[in-house]
Amino acid sequence: MTTAPTEPRNYPPIPPGLKGVQVADTTIGSVRGGEGYFHYREFNATSIAREHSLEEAWFLLLDGHLPSEAELATFRAEIAGQLDADAGLIDMVRIVAGTEAAPHAALTSLLPLVGGFRPTVDIDAAQRRSDAVRAAAAVPGLLAAVHRCRQGLEPVASDPTLGYAANWLYRLTGARPSATAVRAIERYLIATIDHGFNNSTFATRVITSSGADVAAALVGGVGALSGPLHGGAPSRAIEMIDDIGDPANTEQWVTGRLQAGQKIMGFGHAVYRADDPRSLLMRESAESFGGDIVDRAIEIEGRILTVLRAHKPEATIVTNVEYYAGLVMLLAGLSPELFTPTFTVSRVMGWTAHILEQAANNKIIRPSANYTGPKPSA
């Protein structure tokens, strides 16, 4: 009778969820949670959102520098040529729209059909970049087409006179959006393009490391966003503001939730120990719309923070991006079921940068696990 070999454990202790573990090098950006700061390349990310267009921000992540006027014009033309990929898939769009899948989940069926994708290990850097731009640029049109078909409406083609953010709003509603709405949504999209090695970004890099094509990696990122712990909070924050109603009800409402062991959506962050700069940016955008709901949200925010800090005085609790992001999207004319798809429209651009970086110097990501089950038999 032989004895089953025992594999020695030679691994350092790893925190649950790999929290804080550095698993790769990146030049795309980073989050400095203790400082309340994050950056794209060498630029303050919120400054990019305030001072530049979405196309400039995407180019920066892909190519490592802000574009010249000529480079920007070429890049915008490249994007525009891919915005209407849904037109060639209209039959599939209608089939998917007839299912119960959430709009962003429909991408898992449609995105691989955009066409022309090939394993990243079989193509050069220029072709990978072309595939990445084509796939990401197709996403808003696919999502908008599914959404409109579900409303019994015909899909709307892109408008070549509008930018990426404006076309997203236009293709959802069929109406040209206001300048205030466009700029608010553009700032949101820029501010959420990338945010360190978050759950979905890591998923896209793991899939890319196998040599899979761009679409497969993006589908993995979309799957990660389907969970409410990563991307689904903005609608819940709006529901909370509606439930509270009068700001005077805040303390009682929050205390009741805390006593029931429930989370207060839109507050607290895994990384930030100072103000979330994205939340401050979204508050500015909300204030650009004005109105009673904005005034109530600001007062409710202050009251919630007071209760939470009294509840956990040892913790650093800040308002995160989801609290005002939902309000901004609502004021820009988006219904709550479109909040996560809008996040997808943004994050897909960041994923493309990580896909290209991973593929350029690739080694398959294949960690080990520590077996803790019953002792194996001979």
Our measurement of the distance from residue 73's CA atom to the centroid of its chain's CA atoms, rounded to an integer in Å, reads 26
Question: Catalytic site residue 322?
Answer: yes
Could you tell me the strand order of the sheet in which 37-40 lies?
29-32, 37-40, 43-44
Give the list of residues 6+ apart from residue 304 with CB closer than 8 angstroms, or none.
Answer: 250, 254, 264, 267
Quote the CA–CA distance of 259 and 262 in Å, as a whole number: 8
Our measurement of the distance from residue 132's CA atom to the centroid of its chain's CA atoms, rounded to an integer in Å, reads 16
The encoded tokens of residue 225 equal 């966003």
Quote the CA–CA distance of 188 and 376 in Å, as a whole number: 52
Instruction: Please tell me which residue in 269, 301, 354, 357 is annotated as part of the active site.
Output: 269
Give the list of residues 6+ apart from residue 17 with CB closer than 8 angstroms, or none.
Answer: none
DSSP characters for 280-293? HHHHHHHHHH-SHH
CA distances from 215 to 210, 212, 332 (A): 13, 8, 29
Instruction: Please tell me which residue in 55, 301, 322, 357 is annotated as part of the active site.
Output: 322
Beta strands in the chain (DSSP E): 29-32, 37-40, 43-44
Question: Catalytic site residue 269?
Answer: yes
Q: Looking up tokens 């429209």, which residue turns up? A: 345
Which helix H or strand E contains 140, and what residues bound it?
A: helix 125-150
Provide the annotated active-site residues: 269, 322
